Amino acid sequence: MRDDFIRVAAATPKIRVADPLYNREQIEGLMAEARGRQVKVLVFPELCLTAYTCGDLFLQDSLIDEAKRQLALLVQASADSDMLVFAGLPWVKDGRLYNVMAAFQQGRLLGLVPKRSIPNYSEFYEARHFHEGNETAVQVDFTDAAGRTYPVRLGSRLLFVCRNNPKLVVAAEICEDLWGAMPPSIAHAMAGATLIVNGSASDEVTGKAAYRRELAVGQSARLVCGYVYASAGEGESTTDLVFGGHNLIAENGTLLAQSKLFETGIITADMDLGRLSSERRRITTYRMSGAEDYEIVYFSQKQEDLALCRRIDPAPFVPSGREDRTRRCEEILSIQAMGLKKRLEHTGCRSAVVGISGGLDSTLALLVTVRAFDMLNIPREKIVTVTMPCFGTTDRTYDNACTLIRCLGTDFREIDIREAVTLHFRDIGHDGEKLDVTYENSQARERTQVLMDIANETGGLVIGTGDMSELALGWATYNGDHMSMYAVNASVPKTLVRHLVRYYADTCGDEKLSLALSDVLDTPVSPELLPPQDGEIAQKTEDLVGPYELHDFFLYYVLRFGYRPRKVFRLAQLAFAGAYDRETIKKWLCIFYRRFFAQQFKRSCLPDGPKVGSVAVSPRGDLRMPSDASAGLWLGEAEQL
């Protein structure tokens, strides 16, 4: 599929015990439904052609032979589709019975994968009938519905590789294989499989569904793969057990879809093979090995456009859900505070200096600094909070800054820098009426100089306030707000800054502080370096560089997964449907690439700061990028969208 997406499905048919003809008809019906949904890989439960609960009927030649005949008809039914299908049945080889998953497509049986782990405990007595499958593939003969016989490989070490989509490499394991100490899927993934399918018959007992879900999702995370789990359901014998048809689709630790218990039918999800490949490439400890022990079975699929049915989160940096919100916000604030705590302890500093503008970033930096000082049992009065009004300061931001400082109980200093900046204009021969970049940056650098000198005076550290979104876009004055002695917000994007401040406002328990924080959140993002218009902020950052929610979205997918512009653009259109039109997204995407490449020199000399998430721009760890790399390749593709 385009952009490395592929639609996969897990299906549970309603079956009859020991009735392969009826079961084949039900499976065919679900295959037709899956084709209508543009599914490319479809997985059925183990032994679904006969039912899992046949017991000693598995010793009857009639059942085994009929299952084989019905498989031939299933394979024939796949002739007009390139969908890769896995379905379970019993298979005899050299006088031994095996529990296998048959893989077929376009009217041809591609391979048979036997179950490796045969349970013989509690309610499961498979060892009474089935033998452990072999790893090394052997040849068996298969006779199709037209009477033609051809060789097929039977073994657990088979990789089904798509010729025209090499990122799609499929391997199979069966039920108990996943529950054992060394699942075959480990070797499958190490050999190159990006998608593991599991046909299962897992009974339902209290609490088992949650454990099963954690097992499948965890395996997808551990192996950095997709995992499709299809389990037996209605129609299996209820002599001793009930089967719930619990189907699961996971991708690298994320549950994409799951069925309701005790229902039959299909669940689908759109899997991102590009994400898996990128993640494996990024994790240098993910070492591929053992591929030489596997046999490759090739198949082909048409490259078709797919209207994605996958939710794309427009705020990938921001935690969702009330419980997750509390846990994640506390975790992030603690990481920031612990980083600063260690730096204060190491340097022996018992003072910190924070410039407070009344904006989001400086507010978060102050909240983190207060938390670090509380951890160290250092009085908050040792935090020197400085507000430095100048030409662009509005009453709103000034009042909010003052309120925050007083509510938090830190040392409050106000230093008006208008005169100092005016003298500086005179010294460099600048016309103070000319509202250019010199006019703006002189104020930012004067503020940084004041903070640095106060830090020297008090024996403290200047705490940086700039966030990761600003660093990505280069929206910082070089050696102005760009510089500090410890940058607590350096890996916190703007959308997350806003979320953290909102969380603090909701949970601080101080009504006056909460109201001030809420007003900070409602204030337009601005450096306030240009004179106000009618008392209101004249310089709104997002009017100039673009919406931060878009830039944070771009930043996440560009740095976290290395997606190309075309894919980032496609995902953004889905995530922000109804909020931004196509041309608006394209405009800001081009600006993002242009600024991201041009401003690397500012990121190459960043002060220290704690990493809080999976994306960061520290030149010492996460982003080793040349300061003079060409953006032409990326801009060229973005501009042609």
DSSP class per residue in 168-231: -EEEEEETHHHHSSS-HHHHHHHTT-SEEEEEE--B--TTHHHHHHHHHHHHHHHTTSEEEEEE
Whether 359 and 282 share a structural domain: no
Whether 476 and 531 share a structural domain: yes
pLDDT of residue 325: 87
Q: In whole angstroms, what is the distance from residue 565 CA to residue 195 CA? A: 25
Q: In whole angstroms, what is the distance from residue 514 CA to residue 516 CA? A: 5
Q: Which two tokens stand for residue 576?
A: 């922000």
Cβ within 8 Å of residue 634, ≥6 positions away: 564, 565, 593, 597
Q: Which residues of the chain register pLDDT less than 50? A: none
Q: In whole angstroms, what is the distance from residue 222 CA to residue 216 CA? A: 10
Cβ within 8 Å of residue 268, ≥6 positions away: 7, 8, 9, 34, 37, 39, 249, 257, 309
Whether 391 and 266 share a structural domain: no
344, exposed or middle or buried, with CB in 10 Å at 0-12, 13-18, 19+? buried
pTM for the full predicted model:
0.92
Whether 400 and 269 share a structural domain: no
Domain presence at residue 304: no
Whether 264 and 326 share a structural domain: no
Residue-level length of the chain = 641
Q: What is the DSSP letter of 42?
A: E
Whether 355 and 227 share a structural domain: no
> In sequence order, which ranges of 348-436 are alpha helices (DSSP H)?
360-375, 395-408, 418-428
- List the domain range (segments joined by +) for residue 120: 7-299
Q: Give the residue among 635, 69, 577 at the shortest CA–CA distance from 311.
A: 577
Domain presence at residue 141: yes
Q: In whole angstroms, what is the distance from residue 361 CA to residue 356 CA? A: 9
Q: Which of 268, 299, 330 is the last residue of a domain?
A: 299
Domain presence at residue 442: yes
298: three-class secondary structure by DSSP = strand
Q: In whole angstroms, what is the distance from residue 193 CA to residue 227 CA? A: 10
Model confidence pLDDT, tens digit, residues 226-269: 999 999 999 999 998 999 999 999 999 999 999 999 999 999 99
Phi, psi of 407 (to 5 degrees): -65, -35
Domain presence at residue 413: yes
Whether 85 and 219 share a structural domain: yes
Whether 245 and 370 share a structural domain: no
Q: Which of 248, 266, 299 is the last residue of a domain?
A: 299
Whether 550 and 454 share a structural domain: yes
pLDDT of residue 531: 87
pLDDT of residue 123: 61
CA distances from 396 to 196, 402, 418, 535 (A): 57, 10, 18, 9
Strand partners, 383: 352
pLDDT of residue 122: 60
Q: Kindly list the catalytic residues.
A: 46, 115, 175
Q: How many domains does the chain have?
A: 2
Domain presence at residue 310: no
Whether 119 and 151 share a structural domain: yes
Q: Which two tokens stand for residue 449?
A: 């100089």
Phi, psi of 143 (to 5 degrees): -105, 120
Residue 46 maps to which CATH number?
A: 3.60.110.10
pLDDT of residue 527: 78
